[in-house]
Amino acid sequence: MASKLYQSAAEALDGLLFDGMTIMAGGFGLCGIPENLILAIREHGTKDLTIISNNCGIDEFGLGILLETRQIKKMISSYVGENKEFERQYLNKELELEFNPQGTLAERIRAGGAGIPGFYTKTGVGTLVAEGKEHKDFDGETYILETGLTADLSIIKHGKPMSRAIWCFAKRRAISIP
């Protein structure tokens, strides 16, 4: 894999962003989020984004800043509770939401990265999460089909020094696999 150092987040994203793209964003809550890359996406003005991330930040921080500028069309997430702008847009049908249990979201990302198109899970059976999804019984138990997730771009926070960045990646592996 080629290695290149960029002087800014905007330079690193040059030529990679387009309207309607899907972006996976690493981090957990407000920890480890790629805030400089998120700011560069905001400044670029890319719109109609589908964002796959554990959560959508909070008002005025993290992915929440892309909500303020109406750049996110759809959110695939496991937690949305502390963002008032997210709530407002969702309740006004201005934002699509695909809600996932956290472990299912992590497994969907892993499956997509491994080229696995789908898998069955018991998690979510009998809840809103299961609505519209294929159901199948195995040994008398009902499971729902979940699809693997892929993206056009994955953004993660990079720390310094390099040895610390590797340590942080290993600790966040379930959510931030590039």
Q: What is the CATH number of the domain that holds 72?
A: 3.40.1080.10
Whether 37 is in a domain gets the answer yes
Whether 155 is in a domain gets the answer yes
pLDDT recorded at residue 165? 39
Range of the domain at 154: 19-116+149-171
Is 19 strand, coil or helix? coil
Whether 3 is in a domain gets the answer no
> How does residue 168 score in pLDDT terms, banded at 50, 70 and 90?
very low
Backbone angles phi, psi at 164, to 5 degrees: -70, -40
Q: What token pair was written down for 146?
A: 């979940």
10-19 CB burial, b ≥16 within 10 A, e <16: bebbeeebee
Mean confidence (pLDDT) of the chain: 87
The number of distinct structural domains making up the chain is 1
Mean pLDDT of 49-77: 94
For the chain, first and last CA: distance in Å?
13
The residues, any chain, with a CB within 8 Å of residue 59's CB and separated by 6 or more, are 68, 83, 84, 85
Mean pLDDT of 119-141: 96
- Selected residue with higher pLDDT from 61 and 1: 61
Query: Is the CB of residue 163 less than 8 Å from the CB of residue 125?
Result: no
The string of pLDDT tens digits covering residues 87-112 is 999 999 999 999 999 999 999 999 99
- Selected residue with higher pLDDT from 161 and 78: 78
